Amino acid sequence: MGKGEATRERILEIAEAAVLAKGFGATSIEEVIAEAGLTKSGFFYHFRDKNALAREMLRRYVETNDRLFDDVFARGRQLSDDPLQAFLISLKLLAEVMADLPNGHPGCLIASICYQERLFDREVRDLTAQSVRGWNARFCKILEGIAAAYPPREAIDLDDLADMLSCVVDGGIIMSKTLNDPRRLERQILLFRNYVKLLFAPAALS
Amino acid sequence: MGKGEATRERILEIAEAAVLAKGFGATSIEEVIAEAGLTKSGFFYHFRDKNALAREMLRRYVETNDRLFDDVFARGRQLSDDPLQAFLISLKLLAEVMADLPNGHPGCLIASICYQERLFDREVRDLTAQSVRGWNARFCKILEGIAAAYPPREAIDLDDLADMLSCVVDGGIIMSKTLNDPRRLERQILLFRNYVKLLFAPAALS
DNA sequence: CCAAGAACTGTACCGGCGGTGCGGATTCGG
DNA sequence: CCGAATCCGCACCGCCGGTACAGTTCTTGG
């Protein structure tokens, strides 16, 4: 990693924290560069304008989350051959990861952008939509594998159920932040997990 | 309603739409007063500063939502004496209300504030927390009534389940806005409704 | 080791916005 | 018709996003 790339990464890290705490519009470039220890000229050397910063932040965020999901769901499959058990394990791991964050989850950048949509260009908005669609499709594929092995107790739309995981996480983050209680996010994920168990697990197992 | 109060209401309405679309920090007073048709002096006659505007917006939003919940859950109880059935009816009504919004749900002001917390003073943040706590307590009370009549199929924390409704709504709003698909919010509420049904309804009823 | 780019700094400037202050005008109810 | 509520006009401050551009320091490949 060259020196320039390291600086870019530092700027993005600082900017992301600031944006999640105050919103994009209220995050001044000046405070970011002050914390990063460079000048305004230095900033504009790396990013053409504020929107370019947003694009890179988002790209970085999506990439990080993708890796997290890769990791969590791979470990689930690794610990059990049964698709349902693997998913339940993965959800527990996900809940643990969220619970282990020192100061609670810092916030979902997609949610932050969603509530400031008019500030961003089409490219950014398309990237948020595409990411969410990707995550939902990923969850849905897992659920289809489960449903094939375990007929669900009720006729449920698997797409909606896949959506629900994202919704519960985003909602859990908001509630955790608003009430200043990080554990609420973990509990919401576990509650969703219980829903999945209730839907698919045969009565004998529950 | 005096003329001043009408102007205040107009300002709050315009400001809320702007804040939900661009965030609080990026919402300029100038554009609000331009749309409201008054001058900056007129604005500062009604609100001491931008934070006073935020406080009033939030107060208004919480009040509106409280009335909505009062209405929906009262109608549920009105249509069925059974606590579970009443709740299930109320959730369906809630989903319908959300689905009937012409351009989709405009956004949750509490979520918007949550993602810009550093911009607001303690009073505003306390009000958001208190409102969320109030709604959760309301849902929890209903669930306790249900659990007393129908022993839940699994040992579930009713507080968490009450939280889940708020989470699913907030998450559903974000997903609906991000994917530009208003129906997703409705479906998430109905999916939560199904969870409640699955948890409490005796096998004979399902 | 040195040249060539990459990675910055310094300075000057513009326009927009939040916010303050205050005097004056208009409007409206009693 | 009086006085209070409501709103306008105007001048001003400081911060911020963004532009422009010349100069400096650091890094790295040949």
Each residue's pLDDT, cut to its tens digit, for chain B (206 residues) gives 567 678 899 999 999 998 888 888 788 888 899 888 889 999 989 998 888 898 899 999 999 999 999 999 999 999 999 999 999 999 999 999 999 999 999 999 999 999 888 788 788 889 999 999 999 999 999 999 999 999 998 899 999 999 999 999 999 999 999 999 999 999 999 999 999 999 998 875 54
Gyration radius of chain B's alpha carbons: 19
Residues A96, A136, single domain; the answer is: yes
Angle at alpha carbon of residue A114, lines to A110 and A117, rounded to 5°? 125
Residues A24, A86, single domain; the answer is: no
CB-CB under 8 Å, B170 with A175: yes
| A206 occurs within a structural domain | no
Nearest-CA distance B19 → chain A (Å): 8
| A64 occurs within a structural domain | yes
Q: Which residue of A has its CA nearest to B27?
A: A25
Which pLDDT score, from 0 to 100, does residue B206 have? Answer: 47
Residues A165, A192, single domain; the answer is: yes
Angle at alpha carbon of residue A9, lines to A166 and A40, rounded to 5°? 120
| Amino acid letter for position A131 | S
Percent of chain A with pLDDT over 70: 97
3-state secondary structure B40-90: HHHHHHHCCCHHHHHHHHHHHHHHHHHHHHHHHHHHHHHHCCCHHHHHHHH
Q: What is the CATH number of the domain that holds B123?
A: 1.10.357.10
Nearest nucleotide to the CA of B39, by C1', is D8
Nearest nucleotide to the CA of A8, by C1', is C7
pLDDT digit string, tens, across residues A107-144: 999 999 998 887 888 888 899 999 999 999 999 999 99
Q: Which residue of B has its CA nearest to A166?
A: B171
In whole angstroms, give the CA distance from residue A46 to residue A40.
10
Residues B187, B109, single domain; the answer is: yes
Number of compact structural domains in chain A: 2
pLDDT band with cut points at 50, 70 and 90 for residue A206: very low
Which pLDDT score, from 0 to 100, does residue A109 have? Answer: 94
Q: Which residue of A has its CA nearest to B189?
A: A164
pLDDT digit string, tens, across residues A25-61: 888 888 899 888 899 999 989 998 888 898 899 999 9
Residues A79, A168, single domain; the answer is: yes
- Picking from A16, A31, A47, the residue at the C-terminal end of a domain is A47
- Picking from A9, A25, A47, the residue at the C-terminal end of a domain is A47
Question: Residue A158: how many CB atoms within 10 A of its CB?
Answer: 16
Of the partner residues B154, B171, B191, the one whose CB lies closest to the CB of residue A198: B154
Q: How is residue B63 written in tokens?
A: 């009040």
Q: Are B162 and A186 in contact (CB under 8 A)?
A: no
CB-CB under 8 Å, B128 with A26: no
- Distance (Å) of CA B26 to CA A116, B10, B20, B30, B112: 8, 19, 10, 11, 12
Interatomic CA–C1' length for residue A41 and nucleotide C13, angstroms: 14
- Picking from A47, A66, A81, the residue at the C-terminal end of a domain is A47
| A205 occurs within a structural domain | no
Residues B42, B6, single domain; the answer is: yes
| B205 occurs within a structural domain | no
In whole angstroms, give the CA distance from residue A131 to residue A147.
24
Residues B22, B61, single domain; the answer is: no
Q: Does A115 touch chain B (CB under 8 A)?
A: yes
| B115 occurs within a structural domain | yes
Average pLDDT value for chain A: 92
Which pLDDT score, from 0 to 100, does residue A195 have? Answer: 97
Q: Are A188 and B160 in contact (CB under 8 A)?
A: yes
Residues B156, B176, single domain; the answer is: yes
Residues 3-62 in A contacting B (C-alpha not used; CB under 8 Å): 20-27
Q: Are A111 and A170 in contact (CB under 8 A)?
A: yes
Q: Are B127 and B134 in contact (CB under 8 A)?
A: no
Residues of A with CB below 8 A from B20's CB?
115
Q: Which residues touch strand D (CB under 7 A)?
A: A 2-3, 27-31, 40-41, 44, 48-51; B 2-5, 7, 37-42, 45-46
Q: Which is nearest to A160 in space by CA: B95, B20, B108?
A: B95
Q: How is residue B112 written in tokens?
A: 């918007």
| B25 occurs within a structural domain | yes
Q: Does B111 touch chain A (CB under 8 A)?
A: yes
| Amino acid letter for position B20 | L
- Which spans in A80-157 are helix H? 83-99, 109-114, 122-149
Residues B12, B108, single domain; the answer is: no
Residues of B with CB below 8 A from A118's CB?
21-22, 26
In whole angstroms, give the CA distance from residue B104 to residue B174.
11
Q: How is residue B96 written in tokens?
A: 């319908």
In whole angstroms, give the CA distance from residue B88 to residue A160.
18
Q: Which of A166, A167, A185 to probe by mutation at the B interface, max B CB count within 10 Å? A: A167
Question: Residue A151: how many CB atoms within 10 A of its CB?
Answer: 9
Q: What is the CATH number of the domain that holds B41?
A: 1.10.10.60
In whole angstroms, give the CA distance from residue B40 to residue B26.
17
Interatomic CA–C1' length for residue B63 and nucleotide C29, angstroms: 30
Residue with tokens 């890796």: A67
Q: Which is nearest to B145 in space by CA: B92, B90, B205?
A: B90
CB-CB under 8 Å, B20 with A174: no
Q: Which is nearest to A177 in space by CA: B15, B54, B35, B116?
A: B116
Q: Which domain holds residue B12?
A: 1-47
In whole angstroms, give the CA distance from residue B162 to residue B172.
16
Q: What is the distance between the terminal CA atoms of chain A, rounded to a whole angstrom?
A: 50
| B206 occurs within a structural domain | no
Residues B179, B109, single domain; the answer is: yes
| Amino acid letter for position B114 | C
pLDDT digit string, tens, across residues A84-112: 999 999 999 999 999 999 999 999 999 99
Residues A127, A38, single domain; the answer is: no
| A150 occurs within a structural domain | yes
CB-CB under 8 Å, B175 with A171: no
CB-CB under 8 Å, A177 with B117: yes
Residues B102, B28, single domain; the answer is: no
In whole angstroms, give the CA distance from residue A148 to residue A140.
12
Residues of B with CB below 8 A from A132's CB?
175, 178-179
CB-CB under 8 Å, A206 with B157: no
